Structure 1
C-alpha cells in the first residue's frame, strides 16, 4: 500500500467574520464549539483528498474560496475545526513568503534565523549560506538591515532560503507572481529540479500557464468545498467555464 504524502479527511475550518478570520485562544484551547454561530462562516468544509509522494497538485478557484486557507492547514499554520490533515514528511512552505523575517536584523542574520526556524542546523546553514545569497543575488547586501531591502529583494531572499530546504513536500502560494521575469525563470528552474528529484508539490495559483507547466492534477475549490479533483486540464476547463458563466 502506497503511503500518502498528504491526506485530508472531511476538513473544515470556521472563521469569525468580525475577527477577520482570527480565532481567539479561547476558541483554540477549550471553550469553542463546532456549532456555526452568528457572524461566522465556513472557509472550508467537507474537503477530502489524498496526495501521493511525488505528485504535483495545482489548486484553483476564485479569491475567497479557501485555497490559501487549505494551504495553511496543510502547513500546520491553522488548526481545523472539523476533520484531519495528515502530512507524512516535512514541508518547505512558500506561504506569505516574506513573513518571519525581522526588519532590524541584517540579511545575514535573517538567513541564519529563518533557516534555523525551518529546521536547518548551524552546519547546514553555513554550508548553504553562499548558495542562498547567490540565488537571491544579494552578495552586496548581506550586512544591510532587512527592512531596507526592496520588495523584490525580500521575495528573492525568502525563496532562496526555503528552496534550500530538503523537505519532501513543497507548498507554494502565488509566490511566482512576484518578481521580475529573470527571477521567475530562475524559480521555475529550481522548482523543476525539485520535482525531478521526487519532491511533492502543492501549488496554489491563478496563473494557468504555471499550473499547466508544473501540475498533472488539479483541485477546484468553490465556496469552501472541493468541486472537482481531476487532471489539471479538465479542472482548468471546468473552472474557466464556471468563471465565464459567473462573469456573464
Structure 2
C-alpha cells in the first residue's frame, strides 16, 4: 500500500482585499506590478496557514463557527478558489457537495445531470448505466428524475447531489453541510450509507453537529478566528 497521503494541504491561506475607494484598486495594481509591497487596501484573512494530510481510509470533520473559513478552505481544496498562499495536492477523482446545486445545469433533467457528472468523473458509459438505477432509487425523487432540476426543491437537490456523488467511486468525498437541507430521515439514510458503503473512502466533512463528526470521522479539525 502506498504511503503517500490522499490529500496534502500545506500552509494554505486566503486573504481578501477590501478597498475603500475605486481608485485604490488602480493604485494597488500598480504597486503589485512594481513589487513595492505597498498596500492601498485592507487585507482580511479568511483562512490562515492551514496544514494537514488525509491518508487512505481516514475521514476528517472540519468544525468551527460561522465565518471561521470552513467553506473557503474546502473550495481551495477542491480547486474552485485560488489560495493566496500555500499548496494543495489532491486526487484526480473528487466528489464534492459544496454550494447547493453547484455543478448542475438547471435546464437539464436530474438524470441528465447525473450522467454528465459521472462522465466528468471519468466513468465509462457502461459504468454509468450500471449505477443509474441505484442513483435513482437512492435519491427517491420519483418522476422528477426526468424533470429539469430548476423545478426541484432544495431537498430534492440534496437527494440527487448526494446520490450522484457517492455512487461514482470517488477517491475523496467532500461534503459541506449540504445534508443540513435534507429531512432527518434522508440524513440518517446518508449516514448509514457512508458507514456501510464508503467507510474506507477518504472524506472531508464540514458539520456543526459534534455527534455527526464523531460518528463519521477518525479526526477533527477545529477552525477558529
Q: TM-score, normalised by structure 1?
A: 0.77
SS of the residue corresponding to residue 45 of structure 2 reads strand
Residue matched to 1:218: 220
Residue matched to 2:25: none
Q: Confirm or deny: 8 A CA contact 2:158 2:179 kept in the other structure.
A: no
Q: Confirm or deny: 8 A CA contact 1:136 1:160 kept in the other structure.
A: yes
RMSD: 2.4
Report the alpha carbon displacement of residue 31 of structure 1 after superposing the two structures with TM: 6.0
Q: Confirm or deny: 8 A CA contact 2:100 2:154 kept in the other structure.
A: no
Q: Do the aligned partners of residues 40 and 154 (structure 1) sit closer, same or farther apart at CA in structure 2, a change above 3 Å counting?
A: same
Aligned pairs for 1:161-180 (under 5 A) are 161-180=164-183
Aligned pairs for 1:1-248 (under 5 A) are 2-17=3-18, 38-196=41-199, 198-223=200-225
Q: Confirm or deny: 8 A CA contact 1:132 1:160 kept in the other structure.
A: yes
Deviating runs (4+, > 3 A) in structure 1? Answer: 30-33
SS of the residue corresponding to residue 146 of structure 2 reads coil
| Alpha-carbon distance in 1 for matches of 2:34, 2:161 | 35
Q: TM-score, normalised by structure 2?
A: 0.84
Q: Do the aligned partners of residues 130 and 9 (structure 1) sit closer, same or farther apart at CA in structure 2, a change above 3 Å counting?
A: same
Report the alpha carbon displacement of residue 108 of structure 1 after superposing the two structures with TM: 2.1
Report the alpha carbon displacement of residue 150 of structure 1 after superposing the two structures with TM: 1.9
| Alpha-carbon distance in 1 for matches of 2:99, 2:34 | 27
Q: Confirm or deny: 8 A CA contact 2:62 2:220 kept in the other structure.
A: yes
Q: Confirm or deny: 8 A CA contact 1:12 1:83 kept in the other structure.
A: yes
How many corresponding residue pairs? 212
| Alpha-carbon distance in 2 for matches of 1:210, 1:156 | 18
